[in-house]
Chains A and B, each alone.
Chain A
Amino acid sequence: MAASRVSCGAAASYRLFLGGRVSLARRQGVGKAAAAELQTGAVFQILRLRHTTGVTTKKNVAALRRETYTMDFIKKQIEEFNIGKRHLANMMGEDPETFTQEDIDRAIAYLFPSGLFEKQARPIMKHPEQIFPKQRAIQWGEDGRPFHFLFYTGKQSYYSLMHEAYGKLLEAEKHQNQLQAKGLFSEKTKDLIGSRWLIKEELEEMLVEKLSDQDYAQFIRLLERLLTLHGGVEEEFVQRFRRSVTIQSKKQLIEPVQYDEQGMAFSTSEGKRKSAKAEAVVYEHGSGKIKVNGIDYLLYFPVTQDREQLMFPFCFLDRLGEHDVTCTVSGGGRSSQAGAIRLAVARALCSFVTKEEVEWMRQGRSSASVGRVKKTRKNYGLFTYL
C-alpha cells in the first residue's frame, strides 16, 4: 500500500515530466513501459528509461558511402596549402618564392618533432593532390549526355586505351604491308633492357579505374604485339607504359693481387658480421697458418666451431692448407668475429680463383656439391650473411 501511495505521488509529480517525454518518444510502447516503470516509483529507473527508449537512431548513411570530395573543396584546399606554404617560409625566415616541398618537409619536422615510428602518422604538409585520392568527377554534362564515348561500357579509360592501342596496331600493320609491298621490309628487333611493363596497380592508378587480371594481361599482350611491328611512332606510346628497372650488378668485386717485398702474392679485403669488423691478408702460397690479431688462430678461437668457420672458404675451394692468412679483427663477440674473418678471407680468395669458381662461391655451389642432387636447403653462398 505504501508503495502504491508512493507511486501515486510519484505519478503526480512526474506526470508533466513524463508527459513531455512520452510525446518526445516516438512509440507508444515507451509510454506503456513508462507506466509500468511507475509502479516501482524510483527516479533512477525513469531516468534510465530515457536512455533506453526503443527509438532507433538512424545511421549516418552519408558517412558509410565513400568520401567524395567536390572540385571546389579540392581547389580551396590547394589555395590554403599555397598560402600556408608562404606563411611557413616566412616563419622559417626563407624566401617564399623558392620554398620547395623538401624545405616544407624539413620545416615541419623541425616545428613539429614527432617520435612516432609510423611515418604516415607524423605531421605532414603536402600538396592536396597527394593527400586526397584522385576521384572521378561527374561523367556527364547538364544535358545528361556523358562526355566520353565509351561511358556506357563502365570502364571508359581502360577501353579507350585499348581502342587507341588497337588503332595504332592497325596503322602499324598497314604501314608494314606498304613497306613489304615496296620491298623495303627489314627485320628490326627492339630490345627493352632496363625497363619493365608497369604492374596492374600502377595501371589502375594511371587510369583511376579498377581492372581485372584478365584486362591487364590483355592490355600487355596488345602492347607486346604492337612492339613486334614496325613504326617508330608507337615507341613513345609504348614507353608510357614501361618503367625503368635499375640493374643490380651481381658481380662480386674482385680485389687486385698485390705483391710484397719478397715477391709473395697476396690480397687484402674486409668483412663484417654483426658488429665485428675484420681485415684479412691472404697469401697465395702457404701452409695453412692463420694469425688473428698477431695470435695463432688455435689460441684466439678455442672453440672448434669458430675454427671451422675460418676453415670453410678453403674447404669450399678444396684449398685447405694452401694459403696463409694474417688478419685483424675488432668488435662483436667470438662467433661474429669468426664470421667476419670468414667473409674477409672469402673475398680475398676471389683474386686467386677462376671466375667460374667465384660464381659458384656466390651461389653457394661448392666443387664438392657440383654434380650432386640439389639440396633442399637453400645455399646462400659465401658472400652473404643473414
Chain B
Amino acid sequence: MLPGKAAGCTGLATGVWPRPLRPRLLQSATPGRARPGGRTLASAATPAVSGPEDSVDISDKILSEPLKHSDFFSVKELFSVRSLFDARVHLGHKAGCRHRFMEPYIFGSRLGQDIIDLEQTAAHLQLALNFTAHVAYRKGIILFVSRNRQFSHLIETTARNCGEYAHTRYFKGGLLTNAPLLLGPMVCLPDLIIFLHTLNNVFEPHVAVRDAAKMHIPTVGIVDTNCNPCLITYPIPGNDDSPPSIHLFCRLFQTTINRAKQKRRQMEALYRLQGPEGPGAGVQGSAASPSLGA
C-alpha cells in the first residue's frame, strides 16, 4: 500500500495530482546539499569529492536500508498491552453508539460499555508507528489533525516538539483538494495525516479523512467505537476521549518521529563518513544503529 517505495522519490503521496512534484526526497540526493555531518573531526579523512554517482548510491542506501528490517525503528518497545490498559485505551463508548465496522475490533461489552481488543490495538499500533517512523525518516510532512477542543493545545504542542505540523482548528473546505488556491501556488501537501480524533464536533467523520483519501495521502487514525475506520489507511482502534489515552498516543507519536529523524541523521552521517568505501562498513553500521536507537 505504499506506492513509490522502491523509487524512493516524489514522496509517498503520489497520484494524479499535477503537483509540481519537486522530488523533495530526491533533492537530498543531489550533490548540492552538502550538510556537515555530526562527526566533522573525521571529515578530513573522507574523500574530498564524491561524484554525483556516489551521492545517488549513498541516498539509495540510506533509503533502502530501513526497508530490509521489519522493525528498523524498534517501535515495539515503546508500548505494551499493559501500558495501553493503564492508559484506559480499551474503553469504548456505550453499545448504542457502536459503529458497524468497528465490531471486528471490539473484544466485548461490559455493562453496556464496549471494550476494545487491545491485542488487535497493539498490532495495529505497531504497524502505524512503524509507518509513521518510515515517513519521518524520509523527511515527509506529517500533519496532526483533530477537532476535539479539549486536547487541541496538547496536539499542537506535540506537533511543534517533533518539528511537524498540526491542524486542530476549523477545517476549511478545499484545504487539501484546492490547496494551490488556499495555501499558495507551489505548496506541498502533507505526506501523512495522523488523526487523533476522527470525528468532528458534531460526531460526523472529519472532512480530512475523505479528502486525504481523494488526494492519495495515507492516514493513520485513532478510531473509537463510534468512528468509521473505512477510509483510514492505518486505523488504531482505541479510546480517544480520555486524557491519559490521548497523552499516551501523543507521547508515542512524538517519540517515534523524533527517533526516526535522529536515525536519519545518524545514517547520513555514517554514510558520509564511509563514502564509497563499500557496504561492508555500512552493514556493520546499520547493525549497530538499531541498538543505538534503542
Total number of B residues with any Cβ neighbor in A under 8 Å: 26
Contact of B141 among A138, A142, A145, A153 (CB under 8 A): A145
Is there an interface contact between A149 and B27, defined as CB atoms closer than 8 Å?
no
Is there an interface contact between A140 and B187, defined as CB atoms closer than 8 Å?
yes
Known: A152-B167, A167-B153. A145 touches B188 (CB 8 A): yes
Among B106-114, B127-135, B157-165, B256-264, which stretch is in contact with chain A?
B157-165
In angstroms, Cα B153 to Cα A150, docked, is: 12
Counting CB contacts under 8 A, is B24 at the interface? yes
CB proximity to A under 8 Å, residues B127-183 = 139, 141, 143, 153, 156-157, 159-160, 163-167, 169, 172, 175, 182-183
In angstroms, Cα B187 to Cα A139, docked, is: 9
Total number of A residues with any Cβ neighbor in B under 8 Å: 20
Contact of B165 among A138, A149, A154, A170 (CB under 8 A): A149
In angstroms, Cα B188 to Cα A143, docked, is: 9
In angstroms, Cα B184 to Cα A133, docked, is: 19
In angstroms, Cα B24 to Cα A153, docked, is: 22
Is there an interface contact between B169 and A143, defined as CB atoms closer than 8 Å?
no
Residues of B within 8 A of A143 (CB): 24, 27-28, 139
Residues of A within 8 A of B165 (CB): 146, 149-152
Counting CB contacts under 8 A, is A371 at the interface? no
Residues of B within 8 A of A155 (CB): 169
Counting CB contacts under 8 A, is A159 at the interface? yes
CB proximity to B under 8 Å, residues A116-154 = 138-140, 142-146, 149-154
Counting CB contacts under 8 A, is A360 at the interface? no
Q: Which A-chain residue is minimally distant from B153 (CB atoms)?
A: A166
In angstroms, Cα B135 to Cα A33, docked, is: 63
Is there an interface contact between B153 and A159, defined as CB atoms closer than 8 Å?
no
Is there an interface contact between A149 and B182, defined as CB atoms closer than 8 Å?
no
CB proximity to B under 8 Å, residues A272-296 = none
Residues of A within 8 A of B166 (CB): 149-150, 152
Is there an interface contact between B175 and A154, defined as CB atoms closer than 8 Å?
yes
Residues of B within 8 A of A146 (CB): 141, 165, 187-188
Q: Which B-chain residue is minimally distant from A145 (CB atoms)?
A: B141
CB proximity to B under 8 Å, residues A155-181 = 155, 159, 163, 166-167, 170
In angstroms, Cα B169 to Cα A166, docked, is: 14
Q: Which A-chain residue is minimally distant from B162 (CB atoms)?
A: A149
Shortest Cβ distance from A226 into chain B, in angstroms? 14
Residues of A within 8 A of B22 (CB): 144
Q: Which B-chain residue is minimally distant from A158 (CB atoms)?
A: B169
Q: Which A-chain residue is minimally distant from B156 (CB atoms)?
A: A163
Is there an interface contact between A149 and B159, defined as CB atoms closer than 8 Å?
yes
Contact of A152 among B139, B153, B183 (CB under 8 A): B183
Residues of B within 8 A of A152 (CB): 143, 165-167, 175, 183, 190
In angstroms, Cα B27 to Cα A150, docked, is: 24
In angstroms, Cα B20 to Cα A77, docked, is: 32
Residues of A within 8 A of B156 (CB): 149-150, 163
Residues of B within 8 A of A138 (CB): 184
Residues of B within 8 A of A150 (CB): 156, 165-167
Known: A140-B187, A152-B190, A154-B183. A170 touches B153 (CB 8 A): yes
Q: Which B-chain residue is minimally distant from A159 (CB atoms)?
A: B169
Residues of A within 8 A of B159 (CB): 149
Shortest Cβ distance from A152 into chain B, in angstroms? 5
In angstroms, Cα B20 to Cα A140, docked, is: 14
In angstroms, Cα B153 to Cα A146, docked, is: 20
In angstroms, Cα B156 to Cα A159, docked, is: 10
In angstroms, Cα B161 to Cα A163, docked, is: 14
Residues of A within 8 A of B153 (CB): 163, 166-167, 170
Shortest Cβ distance from A33 into chain B, in angstroms? 39
Residues of B within 8 A of A153 (CB): 167, 169
Question: 9 other contacts beyond A151-B183, A154-B172, with CB at 8 A cut-off?
Answer: A140-B187, A145-B141, A145-B188, A146-B188, A149-B159, A152-B167, A153-B169, A154-B183, A167-B153
Chain A to chain B contacts (Cβ below 8 Å), 23 pairs: A139-B184, A140-B187, A142-B27, A144-B24, A144-B188, A145-B24, A145-B139, A145-B141, A145-B188, A146-B141, A149-B156, A149-B159, A149-B163, A150-B156, A151-B165, A151-B183, A152-B167, A152-B175, A154-B182, A155-B169, A159-B169, A167-B153, A167-B157
* Partner-A contacts on B (CB < 8 A): 22, 24, 27-28, 139, 141, 143, 153, 156-157, 159-160, 163-167, 169, 172, 175, 182-184, 187-188, 190
Pairs of residues from A and B, 6 with the lowest C-beta to C-beta distance, nearest first = A144-B188, A144-B24, A149-B160, A152-B167, A153-B169, A153-B167
